[in-house]
A and B are shown apart, each in its own frame.
Chain A
Amino acid sequence: MIRVVLPAHLRALARVEDDVELEVTGPITTGAVLDALEVRLPVLRGTIRDHVTHRRRAFIRFFACEQDFSLAGPDARLPDAVAAGREPLLVVGAIAGG
């Protein structure tokens, strides 16, 4: 079971109060996890990545196991600890502003 931690605004939008747990088949990549996340919570489509191109929104970052996967592309494998459910994939709203 993959765990995803969402920023507060997206938890409120999706009406979830805690980590989201997902079944993901095949290689555990950021793209595969986001595909499963958007199937489970369709309201998140367009809020993390573009509807059509699946390009990550500029102020969204993906962290896992103290590594930044934001620029690694959708096919980048996530760490085994994420695949095993011991560590979450964190979807983070970048700190911007004052």
Chain B
Amino acid sequence: MSGVRVLVGTRKGAFVLTADGQRRDWTITGPHFGGWEIFHMKGSPADPNRIYASQSSGWFGQVLQRSDDGGATWNPVGNQFTYAGTPGTHQWYDGTPHPWEFKRVWHLEPSRTDADTVYAGVEDAALFRSTDGGATWQELAGLREHSTGARWQPGAGGMCLHTILLDPVHPQRLFVAISAAGAFRSEDGGVSWTPINRGLRSQYIPDPDAEVGHCVHRLAQHAARPDVLFMQKHWDVMRSDDGGNQWREISGNLPSDFGFVIDVHAHQPDTVYVIPIKSDSEHYPPDGQLRVYRSRSGGDDWEPLTRGLPQKDCYVNVLRDAMAVDALEDCGIYFGTTGGQVYVSPDGGDSWRAIAQTLPPVVSVEVQTLP
């Protein structure tokens, strides 16, 4: 029987949760790398036993870990992320120039076809790639060196490149998103980049229609329809039908259009999930009710999903990399909270249960569908 492996990164270590295809009985292993912040873990689509993990510490910096046996054992790989050339400056919070400084890896995106190739989105915002299983890393400098780069500014969480989408149809096409610069697309494997922020409106920057400066929190894409992109922006849930050339708002009847996560059902390209958060100054769900919202129409019309989720006194947050979907026939939806819970819905969102209750604050959730 097929099964799932859920990779949970937390403020104090990594956890691996496994279950068979029923997703009823779960085994939790960890913490791996106890005491370290695990920003993200992700398995290789080309070899599910290959998993990469970003391990970080304010004291000891960045470590990259790799497992070749499905998360049972791990070995450190290369942790040298050196910007190409002379990095120059971006804008600091107060608008003054600030040197580009590597801080940590926020997101790892393994290649769809080669287990040794993996992309890393880092803070200060840049994209790196390894083609030797993480031993060495080279910057795809065309992104950071884009003519707008000197105008990029950090969001409250730092100037992080947090989303990497590898287009399933066009092998040379990549999308990335940066807080708070916006979304970018490459058509040549990451050599050159185009800002794709037309249609975004952000009241917190002087020119709300600016080419860059938008605080994009997350992008999502369905493999069967890669020109359609969904975005959770700082405020506003957005959709593009042309690979990001133009965006339109699809927040519709959401109780709040602030949030971090967004994802798409594995088999239904128009079924989208978000978790509204009350506001950027409160960072918890509206009314103390943890509700996932699902649209079956690609946006605008949203329904709350509450069965099995706490509906009172719940004041957790769900961070941008903390939602994932599996590829089983009954698509499973997963998310983790800053309160240390990991929830699963084995029925596309109709019902939920906590598969972990008391982990450290959850930073990221990924899921592997195993044969």
Q: Give chain A's interface residues, CB within 8 Å of chain B.
A: 7, 9-10, 12-13, 43, 45-48, 51-52, 57, 59-60, 93-94, 96
Say whether B61 faces chain A, with CB atoms less than 8 Å apart. yes
B61 proximity list for chain A (CB < 8 A): 46-47, 57
| CA gap between A59 and B317 in the complex, in Å | 29
Contact in complex: B80, A93 (CB < 8 Å): no
A60 proximity list for chain B (CB < 8 A): 59-60
A–B Cβ pairs within 8 angstroms, 24 of them = A7-B59, A9-B35, A9-B57, A9-B59, A9-B60, A10-B60, A12-B34, A13-B60, A13-B76, A43-B63, A46-B61, A46-B62, A46-B80, A47-B60, A47-B63, A47-B79, A51-B79, A51-B80, A51-B82, A57-B59, A59-B59, A60-B60, A93-B60, A96-B58
Q: State how many residues of chain B have any CB contact under 8 Å with chain A.
A: 14
Chain B interface mostly helix, strand, loop or mixed? loop
| CA gap between A59 and B61 in the complex, in Å | 10
A59 proximity list for chain B (CB < 8 A): 58-59
Contact in complex: B62, A52 (CB < 8 Å): no
Closest chain B CB from A98 CB (angstroms): 13
Q: Output the nearest chain A residue to B57 by Cβ-Cβ distance.
A: A9
Chain A interface mostly helix, strand, loop or mixed? loop
Say whether B128 faces chain A, with CB atoms less than 8 Å apart. no
B76 proximity list for chain A (CB < 8 A): 13, 43
Say whether B152 faces chain A, with CB atoms less than 8 Å apart. no
Q: Output the nearest chain B residue to A60 by Cβ-Cβ distance.
A: B59
* A-B pairs with lowest CB-CB distance, top 9: A47-B60, A59-B59, A93-B59, A51-B80, A43-B76, A46-B79, A47-B61, A46-B61, A9-B35
A46 proximity list for chain B (CB < 8 A): 61-63, 79-80
Q: Output the nearest chain A residue to B82 by Cβ-Cβ distance.
A: A52
Closest chain B CB from A26 CB (angstroms): 26
Most buried by A among B58, B59, B63, B82: B59
Closest chain A CB from B209 CB (angstroms): 39
Q: Output the nearest chain A residue to B75 by Cβ-Cβ distance.
A: A43
Say whether B335 faces chain A, with CB atoms less than 8 Å apart. no
| CA gap between A48 and B60 in the complex, in Å | 6
Contact in complex: B80, A9 (CB < 8 Å): no
Most buried by A among B35, B36, B57, B61: B61
A51 proximity list for chain B (CB < 8 A): 79-80, 82
The A-contacting residues of B in range 21-76, CB under 8 angstroms, are 34-36, 57-63, 76
A10 proximity list for chain B (CB < 8 A): 60
| CA gap between A23 and B94 in the complex, in Å | 48
| CA gap between A52 and B61 in the complex, in Å | 14
Closest chain B CB from A60 CB (angstroms): 7
A13 proximity list for chain B (CB < 8 A): 60, 63, 76
Q: Output the nearest chain A residue to B77 by Cβ-Cβ distance.
A: A43
| CA gap between A4 and B63 in the complex, in Å | 21
| CA gap between A83 and B22 in the complex, in Å | 62
Closest chain A CB from B122 CB (angstroms): 13
| CA gap between A11 and B59 in the complex, in Å | 14
| CA gap between A7 and B60 in the complex, in Å | 10
| CA gap between A93 and B35 in the complex, in Å | 13
